[in-house]
Amino acid sequence: MIQAPVSNELFERAQHTIPGGVNSPVRAFRAVGGNPRFMVSAKGPYMFDEDGNQYVEFINSWGPMILGHAPAVVQEAVMAAVPNSLSFGAPTRKEVEMAELIVSMVPGIEKVRMVNSGTEATMSAVRVARGYTGRSKFIKFEGCYHGHGDSFLISAGSGAITLGVPDSPGVTTGVAADTLTAPYNDLNAVQTLVDANKGEIAAIILEPVAGNMGLVVPEQGFLQGLRDICDKEGIVLIFDEVMTGFRLASGGAQQLYGVTPDMTTLGKIIGGGMPVGAYGGKAEIMNYVAPAGPVYQAGTLSGNPIAMSAGMAMLSHLKNNPEVYAQLEQTAARMVAGMEANMQKLGVKFTINRVGSMFSIFFTDKPVTDFESAKTSDTALFGKYFNAMLKRGIYLAPSQYEALFISTAITDELADQYIQANFEALQEALEI
């Protein structure tokens, strides 16, 4: 049994000065019960909390730590950059190299603009799509999360679902009216929206593999069907690859599924853990961005030299070592096979969705293909399971509506440790 008195005390203190005690809602353990752990350090597959507890890591900073924590290649690049100052507010060679690297890796990106978070990337991309098309509305999918920009907090996933506020107060009805929503994987619903709003839709934005309602896989033909609708109607197709970019393949989900969007948003991974995002796409569209064009978007710290150094090191490593993806695939497949065997043995109703190194367990016997079916999962059971895993030193995202992210630091031995913990935690959660 892991005790965490120091974390508990810090969490109590934090409530006085930080809303809810955390700087991002997904970090709280609201949906699963208990208090969050306050971390001190992490290395490879392990994270260490204030009480000296060690956890095997399956969140990996919500995705970016593909190589595990503090990999030498990224750390050394950061250390080398630090003495040259932390920010210039003027252009640097690294930004040019970073843009060239991203363009060389992501099929749908001809030009790219760096920002500081995924939220900024998606907000900016939709603004540019609106400026480019001269239209106001856009379509998003129920249960997809695109950061906390006002217009995205409509049927939003991730922490917004976890806390039961998919439509956030504070978003005006005027803004909300321009966000149209459809169920994920439902091309007919998209076509109906497009027909009912002829010539008014600027963009369709989606996670090409959804990770923010738990992991939901695009059905055969879904992404291509959206591509076809967008081509026919002059709509900008935006893939939000903040989680999937460089994780599912070096060119992201768009490379994996062979469907090229007009614009792509990127985040966290391209900073190797530093606060970075980016949006890019066809040159014709990106030339609308200031100062090349009229759509304004700016950032004092955008293209920050330390963040660029970390990101360049991470992306170059992924580009030059394609075997990383085979390893991630093998580890994740091993974990899922082990869990399937466990759950069959224990008679648990489950669905596991997986693409490469991202997967989710849903405690339901229904296929999970959209937000409605994701909600059939037994979230109370998930809460018990989460805590039983934590007790065994396995750190998962504290919500049903998130995915696990596997890093290359997870050896076969650690995967087997996870599978064993999964068996015991299920027994404990189900009281069998």
What values do phi and psi take at 42, rounded to 5?
Answer: -150, 145
**Angle of the 305-320 helix axis to the 93-105 helix axis, nearest 10:** 30
Establish whether 401 is a catalytic residue.
Answer: no
Q: How many residues bind ligand PMP (CB under 6 A)?
A: 18
- Of positions 27, 130, 140, 268, contacts ligand PMP by CB under 6 A: 268
- Of positions 81, 243, 312, 410, contacts ligand PMP by CB under 6 A: 243
Helix H or strand E encompassing 181? strand 179-182
Shorter beta-carbon distance to ligand PMP: residue 265 or 408: 265
- Of positions 267, 280, 356, 383, contacts ligand PMP by CB under 6 A: 267
By CB under 6 A, residue 142 contacts ligand PMP: no
Determine the Cα–Cα distance for residues 299 and 181; give it in Å rounded to an integer. 30
The 344-383 site mask, x for binding ligand PMP (CB under 6 A), equals ----------------------------------------
Determine the Cα–Cα distance for residues 17 and 94; give it in Å rounded to an integer. 38
What values do phi and psi take at 140, rounded to 5?
Answer: -125, 170
Amino acid at 27: R
- Of positions 60, 124, 179, 212, contacts ligand PMP by CB under 6 A: 212
Contacts of ligand PMP in 289-308 (CB under 6 A): none
What values do phi and psi take at 6, rounded to 5?
Answer: -70, -45
Establish whether 416 is a catalytic residue.
Answer: no
Name the region of 134 (left: φ>0; alpha: ψ -120 to 50; beta: rest): left
From the list 132, 145, 279, 385, the catalytic residue is 145
From the list 240, 385, 401, 418, the catalytic residue is 240
| Residue of 320, 234, 262, 303 whose CA lies nearest to 107 | 262
Establish whether 345 is a catalytic residue.
Answer: no
By CB under 6 A, residue 422 contacts ligand PMP: no
* Residue with nearest beta carbon to ligand PMP: 118
Stretch that binds ligand PMP, among 236-244, 367-375, 403-411, 412-420 (CB under 6 A): 236-244
**Two structure tokens written together for 179:** 């966000």
Q: If 0-12 CB within 10 Å is exposed, 13-18 middle and 19+ buried, where does residue 35 land?
A: middle
By CB under 6 A, residue 118 contacts ligand PMP: yes
By CB under 6 A, residue 138 contacts ligand PMP: no
Q: How many CB atoms lie within 10 A of CB 246?
A: 28
The DSSP bridge pattern shows strands 277-281 and 263-266 to be: antiparallel
By CB under 6 A, residue 147 contacts ligand PMP: yes
From the list 268, 384, 395, 401, the catalytic residue is 268
**Which residues form the interface with ligand PMP (CB under 6 A)?**
62, 117-119, 122, 145-147, 158, 207, 211-212, 240, 242-243, 267-268, 277
Residues forming the active site: 145, 240, 268
